[in-house]
Structure 1
């Protein structure tokens, strides 16, 4: 078995581990520890210049890659970097709160998924926010860790999670981070470019009756989204559900006039469960794809021997 086959097998195992046991507790989670380290790095390096942000991002990637190399296990690194189980659990809990008529509870939980202000969101707007998060974070927390684990092993998966974490910390477009967070945000865009399109492709494979709608939404609607990757994932999800996602939102006190994605009606509460089921199927398809790659590599190795 080649190194590629071994990495693919490890990435599949990592996703499977996350499905079984979920994330480590916050007080011992390596990602939380990384965040604390990067807060100190930011305190040391911060300046209102892109070059300072480049140095910050370089330090973070190096820490992530070294940490992954020390783990020595692609499966362990992907399991730590992935968070699909927690993403789907949180999304379903918000849907259940809405169904029970407990909008305050749904609004209180929503910030764990998205950064927008939930105070004035009604049931449909909360459902849209959750569905958009399920789509975007299925890339960030499932497909991308597995992809980079398959490409570069444990260092790749850990470095990817460091990039994604730095983007969440400093990639925001406010006065403090407009320049300093530029490098982290652009790195995150680059790291998620292929995984986002793998997600959309798997969505299409699993919903072949909607392939034309998915392709149209990704081609026509996604480019108007401020993120080159979230727009692709959200547009594919909107097309499958036949719902309209996106639109204006209040993000950390800043109103963003985001485009609408899809052509259906606005989401309803039941659509959250449908989105979670789709995300779950996409993760299973990703595991199958990784296993098939490992099997083909193994068979080629045997025939070559």
Structure 2
């Protein structure tokens, strides 16, 4: 385990099989119990720190140019601080006993992923739909999206749910596991901080256009590789599940770049192609209509069953990536090499 600073940076621990099995254990833990509400979640602390830093900055800076410069402090202090605090905690626990640090690694990495939470949110909407309770389905969708849901019909509720589950395969599963593979719980927690920053201040509106630009840009960079890995995993999952893998690949090639996000289009277009549906279209945010480029070609009407199929694709992608982490770790460990450090 981690006994000295230079041992941790040597990556013999993380690129060895110990690190791989910690990732497996963390994924299983999240898959089984998710994020119990009675356990304090690190993201809550991150959110409070982000809000406090924003108040400090806005009390001292008013000009757009000043806000843009100050925005750089969000990634430095929040993401960097998350890395440092997590590293320090693991280091101190390793001093007590290596197994204590291993258990902490498992728990901390599990908090950075949300496979169970994502599944539960999607299936909550699904259950209301199959029960014929469209108002309840709208409210359930409203808990996980920013768009207005009060007047959506059933196909639009399904679309919103499928888009959210597909997009978050990257943010909530593959990306944190990707960074856990490279740098353990400290780097996975730093990624979660970056993602939280983007969700809080990374908007292109009047309030955050200048202050949140660095956070939004860093989130785009952080998800660039994981998003493309996810698209490949979704295509392979479509093939295994006997969906339309060929169309999934075609839609990724054709439509992924049309999404306003440089990353979200990859999982969304892959899912749209695999299911033979069309995602994207008009959404309403606080009464204002906004059009998002279409993803995929509709071969049929969307139905509640598409939520279930998307959830299954999500679990295939997550499980496949965990196995890939084990294989990569095993290969590098056997070769006596290092991955990053």
TM range (shorter): over 0.9
Selected match of 2:31 from 12, 15, 19 = 19
Q: Distance in 2 between matches of 1:150 and 1:68?
A: 15
Selected match of 1:280 from 299, 315, 332 = 315
SS at match of 1:227: coil
CA 1:178–1:141 in structure 2 vs 1: closer, same or farther (change >3 Å)? same
CA 1:2–1:59 in structure 2 vs 1: closer, same or farther (change >3 Å)? closer
Selected match of 1:35 from 47, 51, 60 = 47
Structure 2 spans left out of the alignment, 5+ residues = 1-11, 91-103, 337-341
Structure 1 spans left out of the alignment, 5+ residues = none
CA 1:254–1:55 in structure 2 vs 1: closer, same or farther (change >3 Å)? farther
SS at match of 1:247: strand
Q: Distance in 2 between matches of 1:174 and 1:29?
A: 28
**Taking structure 1 as the reference length, what is the TM-score of the superposition?**
0.93
2:182 counterpart residue number? 151
1:292 aligns with 2:304: no
Structure with max Cα Rg: 2
| 2:30–2:116 contact (8 Å) kept in structure 1 | yes
1:69 counterpart residue number? 87
CA 1:98–1:247 in structure 2 vs 1: closer, same or farther (change >3 Å)? same
2:163 counterpart residue number? 132
**Taking structure 2 as the reference length, what is the TM-score of the superposition?**
0.83
Alignment root-mean-square deviation, CA: 1.9
Q: Distance in 2 between matches of 1:157 and 1:144?
A: 8
1:205 aligns with 2:236: yes
2:8 counterpart residue number? none
Q: Distance in 2 between matches of 1:296 and 1:66?
A: 29
1:218 aligns with 2:252: yes
**How many residues are treated as equivalent by the alignment?**
302
Most deviating of 73-82 and 33-42? 73-82
2:3 counterpart residue number? none
SS at match of 1:282: helix
